[in-house]
Structure 1
Amino acid sequence: MPEASAAPQHDVAPDVMHDVVIVGGGPVGLLLACLLAQRGRDVAVLERRTERSGRSRAIGIHPPGLRALGRVGLEAEARASGVEIRDGRVTCEGRVLGSMSFARAGSVWSLPQLETEAMLERRLADLAPGALAPGVEVRGLRDLGTHVQVTGDRGGETVTVLARYVVGADGVRSGIRDLVGIGWASKPGRAHYVMGDTRDDTGEPSTALLHFEPAGVVESFPLPGGRRRWVAWVRRPPREAVASQLATIVASRVEGRFDPEAAGEPSVFEARQHLAERMHRGRVALAGDAAHEISPIGGQGMNLGWLDALLLDRELEHAIESGAPYEAFERYDRTRRASAARAIRQAAFNMRMGAPAAGARLRVRNAAVRTLAVPPLRAVLARAFTMRWL
C-alpha cells in the first residue's frame, strides 16, 4: 500500500461490536470511515487488497467532492496536491464549438485516485488508528436483527466481525450487493475507450479539452506535475493497449500530441451504467460504485460516491442514536438513487455526444453544442459539468 500502509492493521477481533463495518477501502469507503470516526464511532474497514493498483483511474474532484473532503479536514491538502481545471473548450475538426469558465460554478481539481486514497488513508489512521484491515475478503453476512455478523478470509484464516451496521463500498462487482440479494439493473450508455497519461504539451495547463471529432471523442485533462490525461473513444478495444496505439489514435483525430515516450501504461475500459434496485436491505447499505456504476466520462463516479457517504454518515448516526435503521436507510435510498439516476442520464448524454458522427448527424450535434455553449445555457452546462446539481 502507499505511505499510509505504515498505519497499524486492524486485529479484526471477533468479540468487538463495532458501530459500522465498511467493506471496501477505496475513496468512498475511506471517506465514510473518516466521517464516522470524527463522530467518535467505532468503525472498521475491511479491504480485500493488500496494496493499491498504480493504474490510472479517477482524477476529477468536483466542487461537491472538494467540500466532502473538507468535512474531514482534507480540502487544503487536495488543493495543494492537485491542479485546478478552470475552464473547458469543445472543438470539432479544429473549429471551436464552445467554451466555458468554471469561475462561478467552481473549479474542478485534478488529482490521481491513488494519491486521493493515500490522503484519506492517512487521515483515517489519524482519526482511528488500526481501523483499516487490509487483506480481508468478505465471504458471508448474517443480519441477526440487532446486528450483522460478517465473515471473511484473511490469508487462509477465517475471520468474524460483528457490527451494528454494514456498508458495502466494494465497487461495481460488489460481493456485498450479491450477498444481500440486491438486483443490478443495466441502464443506457455503453462505449469503449483507451486512456493514458503523458507529458502535457498543449500549453493549456488549466483547461479541459473536448474534441468531438467525426471518428469519436478525444478528451484531455490536466494532471499534477505537468502531465495530462487523454481518453479516446474506440469502436473495438485493443486486446492490450500500448502508448504508441493511443498516440496514433490521438494524432489521427486532433492536433494535440500524445507523447508515447513520456507516457505511462495506458488502459482500455468499457464504460457501462448500472443502478442497484435498492441501496439497502436490513442493516446493510450500499454506497459508491457498489450502488451505481456511472460512465467515468465526465468524472462523476467517485464524487457521486462521496455524496453518498455524506448522507449515509448522517443517517447512520441517526440510526445508531435512535435505534431506527430502516427509516433512515429508506431516506438514504430515495435521495441517493434519485441523484444516481440523474447522473446516469447525464453520462449517457455525454456518451451520445462523443460517439462518431457524420453528415447531417454531425451538423446537428455541433449545432447543439454551440447552443449549449452560449448564455444562459452555458451556466447550466457548467453547473452540470461540475456536479453542482447532484
Structure 2
Amino acid sequence: MPVRTTDVIVVGGGPVGILLAGLLAVRGVDVEVLEQRAEPSLRSRAIGIHPPSLRALEQLGVAGQVLDRAVRIRGGVVRSDGRTLGRMSFAPSADRTQSVISLPQTETEAVLRARFAELAPGRLRAGVTVTGVYDRGDRVAVDTVRTAGEAVETLEARYVVAADGARSLVRDLLGIRSAARTGGETYLMSDYPDTGEHPGEAVLFFERGGVVESFPLPGGRRRWVAMTEALLTEATSEDLAALIRDRTGVRLPPTDAVASAFSVQQRLAARLVAGRVVLIGDAAHQISPIGGQGMNLGWLDALQLAPALDRALREPDAAASVLGDYDRRRRRSARMAARQAGFNMAMGGPVQGLRLRARNGLVRMLAVPPASAVLARAFTMRWL
C-alpha cells in the first residue's frame, strides 16, 4: 500500500510548531503535526508576547483571543537598594497589536491548538515519537512509533520541520551540531498574588546578590524570577519568597503555585536547513528566557518560514533560494537575540562595591532618551 505524502510534517506540537502549522494551513498547505506528548504540557515558563509576534497571531486569526486573555505591560522599572534607577515605556498605542502583553504559555498554546483544529481537523497527532528521518531527495521519510511503544509507521512529506525543542531528536538524527555558546546561569521562579504596587509594569531589581524580576499576569497574579547560585531543584515557593525578601525587601503573599528551577543555555545550530528538513524555534537556537525572547524568537522564525515553505512547494526551482534566505536571516536574528540575552544576564549578575555603582550608573544612563527608546525597541524585539 503506497504511503500518502503530506506537503509538510512538523515534528513538535509546542507553541512554535503549532503556530507554524497554523500559518501553513491558512495558506492551504497540507500539514500534519507529530507531538510526542499525549497531553499538552501544564508547565508555563514563557509569558511575554511582543508586538512582532502579535503580527503572526493576527495572520492566524487569534490575536484578538490572546489579547482578550492577556494583560498589557505598559513599561518597566528598574530598582536597586530600595531606589528607582529608571523607567522604560513601551509606547502606548490604540492598536492593541502594538502592545507588549503577558499570558501563560499554557493558555496561549490552548488557543493555537484550537485554531489549528479548526483549520486542519485531526492533523495534530499526539503521543507519536519520531525515530528516524531520511531525506530521499524529492521527499522525506519519517519513521514513527506510538509513545506507548506500539504501532510503528512510516510517513512521508515534501518537507519536514523540526520544532521539537532544545533537545531536538530530529536535529541529532541529521547530525547538525548545536554547540553551547554561553550560559550556565540558574534561576528559580514561581507565581504569587499581585500586591498591586506596580500595576501594568515589569520590575527588575538589580541587587548585590543577583537580579530579581517580576511580571504581571492575568487573574491578579505576578510571576517572580530570581537568579540563584546553583540549580535549586528542591526549592519551594516559600524558599523563593524568602530569597526575594532578603534580596529586595519585598514580602510576597502565600501561593499554591509550585516553584520551578531552571538553568540557561545559549546554543545555535550550525545550520537551519538540511536538504528538505528545516529547524525552527529551540531546535534551531536556544537563548536565555530572561527578557522573554525564547518563544517569540521561534514565532518570528515561523512568520518567515511559512511563506518560504509555501513558495518552495509551489515553485520547486526557488526552494533552495528561499530556504537559504530563511537560514541566513534567522541565524542572524538568533545571534542578535543571543547578544541581547547575554547583556541581560550580565547586567543581572551578582556585583559589589564599585561594580555595583558602575552598573547602576549605566542603568540610569540607559533609562533616559535617546538610549531609552533604543532599549525599548530592543526589549520588544522590533528589530529581530
Match of 2:239 among 245, 263, 267: 245
Report the Cα distance in structure 2 between the residues aligned to 1:138 and 1:337, rounded to whole angstroms. 25
Structure 1, 237-246 or 168-177: larger mean CA deviation: 237-246
Mark the CA change 1:229 to 1:107 in structure 2 (over 3 Å): closer, same or farther. Answer: same
Counterpart mapping for 1:1-390 below 5 A: 15-103=3-91, 106-154=98-146, 155=148, 156-259=150-253, 261-324=254-317, 325-390=319-384
Secondary structure class of the residue paired with 2:152: strand
Report the Cα distance in structure 2 between the residues aligned to 1:56 and 1:110, rounded to whole angstroms. 12
Instruction: Report if aligned partners of 1:207, 1:222 keep a CA contact under 8 Å in 2.
Output: yes
Instruction: Report if aligned partners of 2:266, 2:288 keep a CA contact under 8 Å in 1.
Output: yes
Deviations 1:136-156 (A, max 9, x none): 000001100000000111132
Report how far residue 104 of structure 1 moved: 5.4
What amino acid maps onto 2:89 in structure 1? S
Report the Cα distance in structure 1 between the residues aligned to 2:291 and 2:70, rounded to whole angstroms. 17
Instruction: Report if aligned partners of 2:237, 2:255 keep a CA contact under 8 Å in 1.
Output: no
Report the Cα distance in structure 2 between the residues aligned to 1:243 and 1:262, rounded to whole angstroms. 7
Report how far residue 189 of structure 1 moved: 3.4
Secondary structure class of the residue paired with 1:50: coil
Report how far residue 95 of structure 1 moved: 1.0
Mark the CA change 1:120 to 1:14 in structure 2 (over 3 Å): closer, same or farther. Answer: farther
Report how far residue 349 of structure 1 moved: 0.4
**Which residue is 1:8 aligned to?**
none
TM-score w.r.t. structure 2 length? 0.96
Report the Cα distance in structure 1 between the residues aligned to 2:9 and 2:43, rounded to whole angstroms. 27
What amino acid maps onto 2:106 in structure 1? L
Report how far residue 205 of structure 1 moved: 2.8
Report how far residue 70 of structure 1 moved: 0.6
Report the Cα distance in structure 2 between the residues aligned to 1:118 and 1:108, rounded to whole angstroms. 20
Report how far residue 285 of structure 1 moved: 0.2
Report the Cα distance in structure 1 between the residues aligned to 2:2 and 2:26, rounded to whole angstroms. 24
Report how far residue 179 of structure 1 moved: 0.9
Report the Cα distance in structure 2 between the residues aligned to 1:132 and 1:323, rounded to whole angstroms. 26
What amino acid maps onto 2:284 in structure 1? A
Instruction: Report if aligned partners of 2:74, 2:92 keep a CA contact under 8 Å in 1.
Output: no
Secondary structure class of the residue paired with 2:230: coil
TM-score w.r.t. structure 1 length? 0.94
Report how far residue 14 of structure 1 moved: 7.0
Deviations 1:254-281 (A, max 9, x none): 133322x324001000011000011010
Instruction: Report if aligned partners of 1:56, 1:196 keep a CA contact under 8 Å in 2.
Output: no
What amino acid maps onto 1:78 in structure 2? V
Instruction: Report if aligned partners of 1:90, 1:209 keep a CA contact under 8 Å in 2.
Output: yes
Report the Cα distance in structure 2 between the residues aligned to 1:257 and 1:329, rounded to whole angstroms. 51
Identity %: 55
What amino acid maps onto 2:67 in structure 1? R
Structure 1, 14-23 or 281-290: larger mean CA deviation: 14-23
Report the Cα distance in structure 1 between the residues aligned to 2:153 and 2:193, rounded to whole angstroms. 45
Report the Cα distance in structure 2 between the residues aligned to 1:58 and 1:84, rounded to whole angstroms. 15
Report the Cα distance in structure 1 between the residues aligned to 2:348 and 2:255, rounded to whole angstroms. 26
Report the Cα distance in structure 1 between the residues aligned to 2:133 and 2:290, rounded to whole angstroms. 34
Report the Cα distance in structure 1 between the residues aligned to 2:372 and 2:184, rounded to whole angstroms. 26
Secondary structure class of the residue paired with 1:172: coil
Gaps of 5+ in 2: none
